[in-house]
Chain A
Amino acid sequence: MNHSGFIASFHHVTRIAAHYYARLLSGNKLLEFRLRNLFGCSSLLEITKMEEQEETLISIDSTPPEVDTSSGQLNNLSQPKPFDTSLFDQPSQQTETIDLIGADPPSAGVQDSTGEVTEEKDAEEFVKESSDPTKATDPKESQMQNQFTDENLTNVIIDTQSEVEEINLDSDSVVEKTSPSDRGDQEIDNSELKLTAKNNLNTEELLEGSTPLPEIVDELAKDTPDRRPVNVPKLPSVTTFHKGNTPWDDEDPFLSAISNSEADRRQDAWLPSESTLNVLQSRVNLQGTDYASRPDLTMPGISFDEAQVDTLKELLYKYHIEDDVTKRKRLTLDQVTRDLDGLKRLLNDGCLRSAVQLTGLLLTSVGQGKGQSGMPSQNTAESIQIWFTRLALLVKLRQFSTAELESQPFRDFDKPDLYYQYYPALYPGRKGSMVPFSFRVLVAEIPQFVSQHQQSMTRLYALLATCQKIVSNLSQGLDEYGEKSGVSEEYIKASLILWKNRVNRVQYSIGNCLLAMKDYYQSIKVFQSLSKTDSLNWCQIESLVGRIYLQLGDLKSAQETFTGIEKMSEADDQSAKIQVLINKGFLRMAQNMYTDAHIQFSEVIKLDPGNFTAVNNISVCLLYMGKLKSALNLLESLVNDEPDKYLDESILFNLCTLYELESSKSANKKQQLLGMAAKRKGDGFNVSCLKLP
């Protein structure tokens, strides 16, 4: 092959350089693909093949590595780097990153524990609250609760007499209360406005304070020809990781690009706002020469890069289960490659905390590290996927405030630099958003976890509106954007399925959010409409509606819903039969008929012996029936027989609650569970379910 390679690091400066170069070559065939570098920092590399004669035009030198030893690595990576030194300093370091098994120094945990402790406070409080009810009620401890003792309350009944007179005075305030929802809506609007105003301010300040982007780019354009070519063979494995990507082979790049583009096209489709659309169109017309102003840029940055404490391991040390510490063969950050592959391995192993840390490293390497929020950096489809992973993990680890903080720069994902059209040279002809749809939903959901439900609702409904617009475009035989672009009928059909599913997906999130807001009525309405649009799952959805009724105490409506399911389901449908039995069990429990509930759940097990939901719920029934030992044995055998499957937080929580009630030796039994969990669970395991002090 008469081609020579050119490597652009993931770092935004070089990315822009590559971009610039790509524009120079606009007449030539461009073959782009991404490289995975085994060394963490420049995890995503881009190689652009090009004609020989252009080789002199661009080349980038690799400055000598500054990393000294493996122990220093971590710190080094987490620091923001100056532009020049960050280019390709790592390829030679790859060997050092692997296999540091067991070298995880305990001091690292101690050193970083401060940040972690604040994150874990919620969990700790949860443990405290959820601990033995007897604690809260010990008379010695809680004498200050004594609000009512002084009153002489001999009559049980409520005294309505004294309030008769109040009514006349209060009549106005009663009227006022009737329209809280209206006022609530106004409040959202205001806060949204404030938010926008604030953000604009920030960006303006930044514009004055720092170097504008166009200058950086010009500088680079001047610089690049002087750089030495990169030594390609030095690079480790060259693999593709992105599904839509073409491997580097002899295939015609354009043909393969087309085959991928159909799926990409419908998945990436998104309708930008008008202002964003204008920016994107002007960029296409100008072939990307017009660099956007700062307000057009998305500038995320991680908010912490400290190591996440493996709480499971901490507990093992605390209870001196050293034996289990050594047996604990879960992956750690040092045992995986610092790239997407390593991230996947950590995820599959349940090592969520290490995975968060790895996303931090990867993002730092692309200029989106700690303190770099609000500073321009290059967003790519890959960096955004890493962000998605990071925020998803933070939510799973219940570090909601961090997730909320870090999600702020993305907001509604409407900045032009998140669209492929913004980079006409890098992604020629590619249209749509680089943001995965699920990431949009996640970021819309995050505010509700920090009690800003209304903001979540606003964002979710905005998503829903866009999805519905796309569905309506497709239903008219047009493409997603409402244009007649000559797409095939099959394409439209496939896209319609995708987007209808996405409409449902947003509706589920809306239903969840309403439920979290305790707006049961609206939530039920959303789920009821979903049981029609997501008709394959109607039985489960209707059962969900019934459970919501039960939870709020409306047994009558719950019963009606459950009876409706029974009537609608077909006689030979096994899963519907099970669902009906489970529903009956719940209803009986709500009616305080625990023995009957037990019978219903037992019927489920006859039909489906592996139904752990029924086993767990039988155990709960047994407790209310006064059969603690049986309840305990049932759950214990479930967990002991198949620990890999049933060592789940919610089942362990019940089991530990029963242990606490059963004997004063509960601590030992909980520690046994801890040992079991340590052997099988990654660092994402939520230890609070064990209710260990």
Chain B
Amino acid sequence: MDAPREKEHLLSLKVMRLTKPSFVLSCPVICEQQDIFSRGSDGLQDLLPKLGSVQGLPAVALGELLTLPQNFGSIYLGETFSCYVSVHNDSSQIVKDILVKTDLQTSSQRLALSGSGATPRPELEPEGCIDEVIQHEVKELGTHILVCAVNYNPPSGDSMYFRKFFKFQVLKPLDVKTKFYSTEDNLVHSDEVYLEAQIQNITQSPMCIEKVSLEPAPEYTVTELNLQPDDSDSSIFGAITYVNPMDTRQYLYRLQAKPQQGSERGTFTKGVSSIGKLDIVWKTNLGERGRLQTSPLQRVSPGCGDIKLVVLQIPDSITLQSSFKFLCKLTSCCERTMDLKLNLQKAGTGLSWMGISGKQLGKLGPGDSLQIELSMLSTIPGLQSISGLRIIDQNLKRTYEHDDIAQIFVHHAQTAA
């Protein structure tokens, strides 16, 4: 690192990233008293005791001695970049008016970390140091360049200036995936929605996720469902407090719309709406802390299309070669009136429709619903899925396909008895 231009300077600048220290790991090799390289004392002892080992526990690898960070390591979004900047007077002369300035250049902006607007230090004696610990919470991914600039006046001559650059990459620590679930019974005007957040640790080390909270948008209230129902203090994740690299944890939240003026219950807006943000705090090696907030989570209200079909009643199981009935409810979700016809197509293996295809269901206005009862015959044992229901809107000549709408278990008569 001794660049030729640096040698002309009286000062030198050194930078070290202060990741957390770690405990010294030894490699114990234990012998008993009768072994040949035993040193004769009682009990267990190490072949070659080192200072790092724990007193009384020679067989334990993780010691009490702290060791300074050995390399730059990786830095992740949301962590705090901390580094030691030391300017040292290598010369035998007194140097005057020293100003150390550090900036951080990201792909989008330049941040002043220290030294801007500060008054220069009047003088630095030989072998003297100017030390500084810089801390900055990284809020951007990608390349960062730490720029350290030193201005000073040597005893003779003009003021001198040099800069050093230190480049590092900020990586993504987490992968967050979200999924919304609407309650089954009331899809059209549901006032509650469940949010599942999958948080995956994509760093290299285990991560202790301390907090994952949902900050809802103003029109919603949120209930966290990640604590044991009986004991509100313990998390559902049990004794394992950390997430290994590439492992994922799921968090669940219930969102309720606040009642709007003039109506008893709130509703979720149709289409795309913002629900809120996730706030995540984690710790890794020896308390290295990280914090992230997601962008607003967008919810698209469930695309049930123009018609929603819900199965109201169906038997769990049925004997082979017998018929059964089930009840469906059709609800219109669109603004126009539809003229509906029911077609029954191939019902899938193992089941056959009983009844007429092409039956007129009549007109269905916006928000209206109607119930239909259908019959089927079981032909093959096993878990069978009902498919092949087609609803046709005769006004627009549009067909709505409904497959895999329900399942039924078909068994032999003997097993039932």
Contact = CB atoms under 8 A, between A and B. Distances in A.
B95 to A, nearest CB: 14
Interface in B136-181: 139-143, 145-146, 164-170, 172, 174-179
A637 interface: no
Interface in B379-395: none
Interface string B78-91: 00000010101010
B300 to A, nearest CB: 8
Contacts of A149: 107, 142-143
Interface in A255-270: 263, 267
A620 B198 contact: no
A544 B57 contact: yes
Nearest to B106: A153
A623 B286 contact: no
A567 interface: no
Given A555-B283, A626-B131, A158 B176 contact: yes
Central interface residue in A155, A544, A627, by most chain B CB within 10 Å = A544
Given A540-B57, A553-B283, A158 B177 contact: no
A590 B287 contact: yes
Interface string B289-300: 100111101100
A243 B34 contact: yes
Interface in A146-191: 146-149, 151-161, 163-164, 166-168, 170, 174, 177
Interface string A541-553: 1011001111111
B2 interface: yes
B65 interface: yes
B30 A505 contact: yes
Contact of B88 (A134, A540, A664): A664
Contact of B60 (A138, A508, A516, A591): A508
A481 interface: no
A187 to B, nearest CB: 17
Given A164-B177, A650-B65, A660-B14, A145 B37 contact: no
A640 interface: no
B298 A170 contact: no
A129 B84 contact: no
B355 interface: no
Contacts of B287: 550, 553, 555, 589-592
Nearest to B299: A164
B332 to A, nearest CB: 26
Contacts of B59: 505, 508-509, 512
Contacts of B37: 343-344, 347, 389, 392
Contacts of B326: none
Interface stretch (A271-279, A311-319, A325-333, A434-442): A434-442
Interface string B249-282: 0000000000000000000000000000010001
A170 B72 CA distance: 34
Interface stretch (B47-55, B307-315, B403-411): B47-55
Interface stretch (B20-28, B185-193, B334-342, B370-378): B20-28
Contacts of A393: 47
Contact of A648 (B2, B50, B298): B50
A442 B198 CA distance: 42
B104 to A, nearest CB: 12
A441 B56 contact: no
B179 A167 contact: yes
Contact of B71 (A136, A267, A388, A438): A136
Contact of B248 (A134, A174, A543, A557): A174
A137 interface: yes
A157 B292 contact: yes
B16 interface: yes
B14 A662 contact: yes
A548 B57 CA distance: 15
Central interface residue in A158, A449, A537, A589, by most chain B CB within 10 Å = A158
Contacts of A508: 57, 59-60
B57 A623 contact: no
A457 to B, nearest CB: 15
Contacts of A627: 131
A437 B32 contact: yes
A654 interface: yes
Central interface residue in B18, B248, B284, B286, by most chain A CB within 10 Å = B286
A582 interface: yes
B225 interface: no
A626 B132 contact: yes
Contacts of B48: 350, 352, 396, 684
A212 B183 CA distance: 78
Contacts of A133: 15-17, 69, 71-72, 166
Nearest to A442: B29
Interface in A577-622: 582, 589-592, 612-613, 616-617, 620
B301 interface: no
Interface size, B (range): 35 or more
A138 B165 contact: yes
Contacts of B416: none
B44 A626 contact: no
A469 interface: no
A385 B36 contact: yes
Interface in B182-221: 198, 205-208, 210
A657 B142 CA distance: 28
B167 A142 contact: yes
Interface in A119-137: 126, 129-137
Contacts of B21: 589, 620, 624
B304 interface: no
A134 B1 contact: yes
B286 A160 contact: no
Contacts of A234: none
A292 interface: no
A505 B29 CA distance: 11
A663 interface: yes
Contact of A550 (B178, B210, B286): B286
A244 interface: yes
Contacts of B34: 243-244, 263, 267, 436
A427 to B, nearest CB: 16
A648 B65 CA distance: 11
Nearest to A664: B12
A543 B298 CA distance: 46
B72 A613 contact: no
Contacts of A146: 143
A147 B165 contact: no
Interface stretch (B235-243, B317-325, B346-354, B359-367): B235-243
B239 A521 contact: yes
Nearest to A523: B62
B133 A624 contact: yes
Nearest to A501: B44
A31 B52 CA distance: 46
B244 interface: yes
A385 B24 contact: no
Given A392-B31, A552-B208, A590-B20, 14 more contacts: A130-B71, A385-B35, A396-B47, A436-B31, A508-B59, A536-B56, A541-B60, A553-B284, A554-B208, A554-B242, A555-B287, A624-B21, A628-B131, A657-B16
29 contacts: A133-B71, A133-B166, A138-B165, A148-B141, A153-B108, A153-B142, A160-B294, A163-B177, A164-B178, A167-B177, A392-B31, A436-B34, A438-B31, A438-B35, A441-B30, A512-B59, A512-B62, A518-B205, A521-B240, A551-B23, A552-B285, A575-B55, A590-B287, A591-B287, A617-B64, A628-B131, A629-B131, A650-B52, A650-B67
Q: Which 6 A-B residue pairings sit nearest by Cβ, starting from the closest?
A: A148-B142, A590-B287, A553-B283, A553-B208, A130-B70, A508-B59
Interface of B: 1-2, 12, 14-18, 20-24, 27-32, 34-37, 44, 47-48, 50-52, 54-57, 59-72, 77, 84, 86, 88, 90, 107-108, 127, 129, 131-133, 139-143, 145-146, 164-170, 172, 174-179, 198, 205-208, 210, 239-242, 244, 246-248, 278, 282-289, 292-295, 297-298
